[in-house]
Amino acid sequence: MKDHRTSISRRRLLQAAGGLGGLGLVGGLVPTAVWAADTLSIGFIYVGPKDDFGYNQAHAEGAAAIAAMDGTKIYEQEGVPETLEVQKVMESMINFDRTQMLFPTSFGYYDPHIKKIAPKYPDVKFLHAGGLYEEGDPENASSYFGYIDEAQYVAGTVAGHMTQTKKLGFVAAKPIPQVLRNINAYTLAARKVDPEITTQVIFTGDWAMPVKEAEATNSLVNQGVDVITCHVDSPKVVSQTAAERGAYVTGYHVDQSPLAPQQYLTGAEWNWGEIYPRFVKWQKAGKDWPHLYRGGLKDGFVKTSDYGPAVTDAARKAGDEAIAYFMSGEGVIYKGELKDNRGNVVIPAGQEREQTDIQLEKMDYLVEGVIGSTSA
Amino acid sequence: MTSHPGLRLAAESVVLILATFAATALLFALFVAAAGAPPTGVFYDIYLGAFGSWFSWQNTLTRAAPFMLAALCTALPARLGLLVIGNEGALVIGGVAAAAAGISLNGVAPLAVQVGMFVAAAVAGGLWIAGALALRHYRGVNETISTLLLNYLAIALLLWLVGGPLHDPASLNKPSTPSIGSANMLGDMPGMSVHWGLAYGVIACALLFVLFRYTTFGFAARIIGGNVRAAQLNGLAVARITLIVGFLAGAAAGVAGMVEVAAVHGRANESLVAGYGYVGILVAFLARQNLAMIVPVAILLGGIEASGGLLQRHFELPDATTTVLQGTLFMLLLASESLRGRIFPIRVQEAN
Amino acid sequence: MEGAADLGWWGVPLALLAGAVRASTPFLFVSLGECLTEKSGRINLGLEGTLVMGAMIAYGISFLTGSPWLGVAGAAGVGLVMGALHGVICGLPRVNHIAVGIALMIFGVGLAFFLGKPLIQPSAPQLPGLALGAWSDSRAVRAALNVNALFIIGVILTFVMAWMFRSTRIGLAIRTVGDSRDAARAVGLDVKRIRLLTTAVGGAFAGVGGSFLSLYYPGSWNEGLSSGQGLMAVALVIFARWDPIKCLYASLLFGGAGALGPALQGVGISTGYYLFNATPYLLTLIVMIAASSRDRALAGAPGDLSINSSS
């Protein structure tokens, strides 16, 4: 806090002329932050609260890792919707805080917002979470993403060993490819343990619907489900409700074990604290990085939570084997013959779809063993 | 003190507004001080973020544009003494209609597409609110509550359409309608990075101000607002005027939705539900339902919103800080109404 | 446990009942509060802000003191203050009641989000549920009958309020003030004071409704906690035609409607959840249209209620 205030007063002195001049209409932009030349200013933009036990917190952990590096200064803004607002926030960070790198972290920030603003500021690097970069997009933009379905595969393996009722539950926001990949990977892993296992999925319709999430969790437990996971912005409500009802929980986004200490098995987590500092090091070294930068467990993009106390030795061993499978670089989740839950063959026998396969990003099916439907 | 009653009333308005701002500033200063931020620094950042540079001005004006159009949705029916809060719903419906029109007109000249989107949005939003006022006029259904309910219905309709009938299969991870095509986008006004929505807002406010101030239609609306029974006795077409006002109100908000689609997103999706409609209600009341005042008030609120980010980044104040400021301002302004006529006391007959 | 799985389609009505009981409590408290306020002839559109403030304060107090019931009391207290604020401002001349409500909603929500920032992360002690279904072997039945004490208190308050309006002097006074302020003045009632009190107490009800959200179901504090239950209360009271007992039924209906989507997906029907979500609003609109007529005030409405006049 202290250095904030001194920087403000210093800035105020500097800006007295520029900002106030001519009611600001003619006032040019005056450097607002006075840092040593080698200090890198970096902006982070979140769509929700940055301590939500979920999506935003995962990114804030990456921001904290950067803040801990020498010669960096971070600026964070939360609660920024995917509207014109985010365009103006990016520009405001560039204009007022002289940020040289921006991390607009919500999926919907990319198109049209980053695509519109990035060309105006060619010296600023725009790093977006979501893996959306396409040929022809602005040079100074890039999009990174993690194959978190690998971590979900590990969690599904553990869940498959732990379930008594052979029924897993998945509370999901919307039937979009990223979500379907997680549901399918989770189910495939569990059914590898025992082909009788099914996953019941319930879509709540939006990313943050606490009452509906609680309702869906209860509904799943009532149907006999005994291990529950989710893909919503904040897994807090689902984790707490499931644990209260006596079901096991596998987490998502970040570690939710504090919310369900006894019932937490493991979880699929982002590992931005590992990835984000890489970008900063490259930037400082003047190195370029790929416009599309992706990876899974092996590359440190994602990780799994520590096993909870309830996890049996057999489940633990199977989980570790699944991790090793992906760490070897040989791990493939989606292999033929793969059927969807309506009986259609979606991957023919003998074919494998590796994580980089573009087809996976268009996934529109639920695999055999998932109870639920992708239609809205 | 002046002796002319009109001047006295005007002076009183100015004094009341200034006093309200001063009281709001004082309360807000105490509030941020309690939260551990220095009030002078906070006020300076609000100034800086809202009006402190050309960038800030553009930021403020861009945000003010939808507020102006949305505010008309409350301010016009207020001329008739009706309180409409369906701004958000009319905006959303207008946005969906604009996107649908933009998609179906694809291939025509961009200007024609834009006109088509404009008309579709205005008609859809217009019918949306005119419908509520028809229910009010013919069946006595309270327009405030019905338009509140219509907001929820509009949002549900939007989510259903972009996920179903109007879904673009390529919009995988954020269900949306297909794009209207970049050639058909409205773009920015010359010389600034502010989209054309601002011009729409200012022109709409100006035209409607003239309509309600200087025409027979506006005069008739004023009479209805004063006393419906008297208006009916005078043979005014109350039904027709009510429906037209409702249509214009909804059309304005609908056009705000069209601007969101045609100038910002290029398609309709859940981002249309951004709360501009609710800020519009606030703007209308702060402007005391005066059409000429909507433009400056919208700019003021746009400025407050534009500066919110600086408060977060420089003082670690939460994003809700500007909401607290708006709520305080709104409440004090409403309370200040009760002081009207007491600051420079004049006899009631004279004032009227 | 197997019994639960075998319920199949029977699980849907059971889930609806359970969902209705779980999700209706906030609706019930807010609508009872609004009903009380409107019976005295005043409308408070700001209960959404009160509800959210109540949720935040209750969570904060429960977290700091370890006592969720103290949190409920705190929520009632903050609701009382916010209701009184509405009452005082509306007591001033020439002030638009509905606008004050909207202002209070913005203020309350803003303040709750502001002060609630540090409460998003921690877990606060929750209100206990009463296991009324312990006799059953079925998970679903046990879950459906796991009822929170606030729901029972709400049901009792419903009947107390209905009795109060029907058979007590206070109830008569409130109704008189609500139907005609001139008639009330003629019999010596202090209109301003009665309206101030009903608005304040109505606010306290809404605060308690908020505490249920953060301390029981879904039982967490975050900025998306309320999905407009407070705003809907105004419509819900109209739906219930200003009758506390009908408020109870309407709350159960609205709560049950929220549970319909997940319950149907549970048995494999999963299309159109956005339209399901909108049914309560559509129903209310239909009821309003049916109950209104051109010449008459809304049937059953207090005569002096500001939504009947054109301002």
Residues of A in contact with C223 (CB under 8 A): 48-49, 79
Query: CA–CA separation, B262 vs B97, rounded Å?
Result: 11
* Sign of CA pseudo-dihedral A155, A156, A160, A164: positive
Q: State the pLDDT at residue A25.
A: 33
- Report the sign of the C-alpha dihedral through residues A328, A330, A335, A336, in that order: negative
Q: In terms of DSSP bridges, do strands A264-270 and A248-253 run parallel, antiparallel, or are they unpaired? A: parallel
Q: Are C234 and B148 in contact (CB under 8 A)?
A: yes
- Same domain for A152 and A77, yes or no, is no
Q: Is residue A285 in some structural domain?
A: no
For the record, the structure tokens of B298 come out as 């919208």
- How many CB atoms neighbour CB B40 within 10 A? 13
User: Is residue A96 within 8 angstroms of chain B, CB to CB?
Assistant: yes
In chain A, residues with a C-beta closer than 8 Å to the C-beta of B175 are: 174, 176, 376
Q: What string of DSSP letters covers A93-120?
A: HHHHH--SEEEE-SGGGIIIIIHHHGGG
Phi, psi of C229 (to 5 degrees): -55, -40
Select from B105, B197, B202, B84 the least CA-distant residue to B151: B84
How many CB atoms within 10 Å of residue A350? 8
- H-run or E-run covering A370: strand A370-371
Residue A328 confidence (pLDDT) above 80: yes
Q: Which two tokens stand for residue B48?
A: 């800086």
Q: Is B319 on the interface with C (CB under 8 A)?
A: yes
Of B156, B318, B331, the CB nearest to C275: B156
The answer on A360 and A221 residing in a single domain is yes
Which of A131, A146, A161 corresponds to the end of one domain? A146
Mutate to test the interface with C, among B158, B286, B323, B329 (most CBs of C within 10 A): B323
Domains and CATH numbers, chain C: 2-291 (1.10.3470)
State whether B145 and C94 contact (CB < 8 Å): no
Of the pLDDT bands very low, low, confident and very high (cuts 50, 70, 90), residue B163 is: confident
> Cα distance from C273 to chain B (closest Cα, Å)?
8
pLDDT for A7 equals 39
Integer-rounded Cα radius of gyration of chain C: 20
User: In angstroms, rounded to a whole number, what is the distance separating the alpha carbons of residues C111 and B322?
Assistant: 10
> CATH number for the domain including A102?
3.40.50.2300
Taking any CB pair shorter than 8 Å as contact, residues of chain B touching chain A are 36, 38, 41, 44-45, 47-49, 51-57, 59, 62-63, 159-160, 163-164, 167, 172-175, 193, 260, 264-266, 270-271, 274, 306, 309-310, 312-316, 319-320
Low-confidence stretches of chain C (pLDDT < 70) are 1-9, 11, 139-140, 266-273, 294-299, 306-311
Flag if B53 and A97 touch (Cβ within 8 Å): no
ipTM of the complex: 0.90
Both A152 and A138 in one domain: the answer is no
Residue B111 has pLDDT above 90, yes or no: yes
Contact C123 A240 (CB under 8 A): yes
Q: C222 vs A209: CB contact, 8 Å cut-off?
A: no
Whole-angstrom CA distances from B32 to A4, A214, B19, B21, B28 are 15, 35, 20, 16, 6
Token couple for B208: 């409607």
Q: What pLDDT shows up at residue C271?
A: 62
Rounded distance, CA B247 to CA B127, Å?
6
Instruction: Tell whether A245 and A347 lie within a shared domain.
Output: yes
Residues A163 and A105 grouped into a single domain:
no
Spell out the residues 6+ positions from residue B118 whose beta carbon is closer than 8 angstroms to its own.
B98, B255, B258
Q: A162 — phi, psi (to 5°)?
A: -90, -20
Q: Is residue A153 classed as helix, strand or coil in its secondary structure?
A: helix
Residues A114 and A230 in one domain: no
Q: Considering only CA atoms, which of B188, B40, B51, B176 is closest in space to residue B103? A: B176
Question: Last residue of some domain: A128, A146, A164?
Answer: A146
Q: Of A139, A135, A134, nearest to A124 (Cα)?
A: A139
Question: From A57, which residue of chain C is nearest by alpha-carbon distance?
Answer: C121
- Omega cis (within 30) before A81: no
> What pLDDT, in 10s, does the model give residues B304-335?
999 999 999 999 999 999 999 999 999 999 99
Contact partners, residue B177, CB within 8 Å, separation at least 6: B96, B99, B100, B103, B161, B162, B166, B167, B168, B171, B267, B268, B269
pLDDT average, residue stretch A191-197: 97
CB within 8 A of A361, min separation 6: which ones?
A: A131, A177, B172
Residue that is written with structure tokens 């003010």 in the block: B64
Q: Residue C218: is the preceding peptide bond cis (ω within 30°)?
A: yes
A159 in the same domain as A106: no
Residues A193, A334: one domain? Answer: yes
Estimate to the nearest angstrom the gap between the alpha carbon of A33 and the chain centroid.
Answer: 30
Map residue A294 onto helix, strand or coil.
strand
The number of folded domains in chain A is 2
Window from A14-23, A204-213, B227-236 with minimum mean pLDDT: A14-23
Tens digits of per-residue pLDDT, A150-171? 999 999 999 999 999 999 999 9
Q: What pLDDT is recorded for position A37?
A: 61
Separation of alpha carbons B278 and B327, rounded Å: 12
Q: State how far the alpha carbon of C251 is from the alpha carbons of A84, C29, C142, C234, in Å.
A: 38, 9, 22, 12
Q: What is the pLDDT, as a whole number, of residue C292?
A: 79
Q: How far is CA A140 from the centre of its chain?
A: 22
Q: What is the pLDDT of residue C227?
A: 80
Nearest to B345 by CA among B7, B8, B4: B8
Q: Is A339 helix (H, G, I), strand (E, B) or coil?
A: strand
Place of tokens 């800006």: A15
- What are the tokens at C162? 């209905």
**Whether B160 contacts chain C with CB within 8 A:** yes
Residues of A in contact with B56 (CB under 8 A): 24
For residues A206 and A169, membership in a common domain is answered with yes
Q: What is the DSSP letter of A362?
A: G
pLDDT band per the 50, 70, 90 thresholds, residue A22: very low
Other CB atoms within a 10 A radius of the CB of residue C272 amount to 16
Give the range among A185-199, A346-360, B44-58, C148-162 with minimum mean pLDDT. Answer: A346-360
pLDDT value at position B172?
A: 75
User: What is the DSSP-derived secondary structure letter of residue C66?
Assistant: S
DSSP assignments along B144-167, one per residue = HHHHHHHHHHHHHHHHHHHHTTT-
Q: What is the residue whose two structure tokens read 């006029």?
A: B137
C270 inside 8 A of chain B by CB:
no
What single DSSP character describes residue C145?
Answer: T
User: Do residues A104 and A171 both lie within one domain?
Assistant: no
Strand-pairing partners, residue A267, are A251
Q: Each residue of C57-94: pLDDT tens digit? A: 999 999 999 999 999 999 999 999 999 999 999 999 88
For residue B155, which of A204, C257, A206 has the smallest C-alpha distance? A206
Question: C140: closest CA among C5, C251, C20, C262?
Answer: C5
In terms of CA atoms, which chain A residue is nearest residue B305? A85
Contact list in B for residue A174 (CB cut-off 8 A) is 175
For C263, the token pair is 């319950």
From the list C69, C214, C217, the residue with the least C-alpha distance to C143 is: C217
Reported confidence tier of residue B345, pLDDT bands at 50, 70, 90: low
In a domain, A328, yes or no: yes
Q: Please, are residues A156 and A170 in contact by the beta-carbon 8 Å criterion?
A: no
State the average pLDDT over residues B65-91: 96
Neighboring chain A residues of C15 at a CB cutoff of 8 Å: 218-219, 222
Interface check for B82 against chain C (CB to CB < 8 A): the answer is yes
Instruction: Measure the CA angle with vertex A130, ends A126 and A135; round to 5°.
Output: 65
Is C83 in CB contact (< 8 Å) with chain B? no
* Coil/strand/helix, residue A75: strand
- The set of chains that have 3 or more CB pairs under 8 A with A is B, C
Chain-chain contact of B312 with A130 (C-beta, under 8 angstroms): no
If asked whether residues A132 and A223 sit together in one domain, one would say no
B146–C107 C-beta distance less than 8 A: no
Q: Which residues of B touch A108 (CB under 8 A)?
A: 174, 271
The pair of structure tokens assigned to C22 is: 């779980």
Give me the pLDDT at residue A362, please.
Answer: 87
Per the structure, the complete domain to which residue A69 belongs is given by 36-146
Residues of B in contact with A177 (CB under 8 A): 172-173
Nearest CA in chain B to C287: B141
Q: Which residue is closest to B165 within chain C, CA to CA?
A: C272
Domain end (from A105, A131, A146): A146
> How crowded is the C-beta side of B143, counted as CA atoms within 13 Å?
31
Q: What crossing angle do the helices spanning C149-167 and C169-179 adopt, rounded to 10°?
A: 70
pLDDT mean over B134-148: 91
CA distances, A58 to each of A72, A186, A286, A303 (Å): 19, 20, 27, 12
Does residue A223 form part of some domain? yes
Chain B residues whose CB is inside 8 A of the C285 CB are 146, 149-150, 153
Yes or no, beta carbons of A93 and B313 under 8 Å apart: yes
**Residue B277 is inside which H or E element, if any?**
helix B276-286
Same domain membership, residue A126 and residue A235: no
Contacts A95 to B, Cβ<8 Å: 53, 55
CA distance C112 to C132: 34
Give the helix, strand, coil percentages of chain A, each rounded to 5.
Answer: 40, 20, 40
d(CA A134, CA B183): 20
pLDDT-derived band at A103, boundaries 50, 70, 90 = very high
Mean pLDDT, chain B, integer: 91
